[in-house]
Amino acid sequence: MTFDVPLLTIDGPGGAGKGTISSLIAERLGWHLLDSGALYRLTAHAAVKHGVALDNEVALAELAAQLDVAFPVEEGQPRTLLEGEDVSQAIRTEQAGERASQVAALPKVREALFQRQRDFCRLPGLVADGRDMGTVVFPEAQLKIFLTASAEERAHRRYQQLQEAGVDASLSSLLKEIQARDARDTQRSVAPLKPADDAITLDTTCLSIPEVVDRLTDLLAQRGMASGI
């Protein structure tokens, strides 16, 4: 990979809005999108499906290296397929997120998925969403963003999403889960969650989605990474 490919990385903790913002930016620019978190969620989901323990690092790494996954877009809506099965909703539960965080802390699993993530970088450009995109996977990215928000705000956003989906949830439990995941992600020995040295940190606690998209679009334009936006 070279600098000939425009590359934007968006890292940050769960619930900061990375997925939504990344999708909107990629759609606006017509770039490819890498949801790196989905790969870890898929690995954890496949492990449960095939009876692999979430602390069996060697077996999980082998599973990650051979994942049969696809991310088709139908009628403008992205889908996530694992072994031909649509698991778009199944891998987005709180439990799936917890499992993914456990799996992501294992060095051999991260190694197995490293090149698969790098392969997403191709013309006309890539928006890479994750927790170590700017620090580990794409350190050469021309623009690196660290998107964050208070744990309370992130828990509230997730609570609202679940309520709108008709799912009962406890705001206090969601907050505890987010705080536990933050601690695990920031304290792990391999690729801990942190801003890259040259990243721009953007706190979305008091910002709307359109406001964040506009700010990132302006930054891309200022750096000459995208024309006509």
Domain boundaries, the chain: 7-219
pTM for the full model?
0.85
| 20 annotated ligand binder | yes
Read off the pLDDT of residues 66-115 as tens digits, 9 standing for 90 and up: 998 887 766 657 788 999 999 998 998 889 988 998 998 899 999 999 98
| 2 annotated ligand binder | no
Read off the pLDDT of residues 123-159 as tens digits, 9 standing for 90 and up: 999 999 999 999 999 999 999 999 999 999 999 999 9
| 16 annotated ligand binder | yes
Range list of H helices, the chain: 18-29, 36-49, 57-65, 94-104, 107-118, 151-164, 171-187, 209-222
Q: Which residues contact 205 (CB under 8 A, 6 or more apart)?
A: 149, 150, 153
| 125 annotated ligand binder | no
| 15 annotated ligand binder | yes
CATH of 7-219, one of 3.40.50.300, 3.30.1300.10, 3.40.50.620, 3.30.420.80: 3.40.50.300
| 76 annotated ligand binder | no
| 12 annotated ligand binder | yes
| 155 annotated ligand binder | no
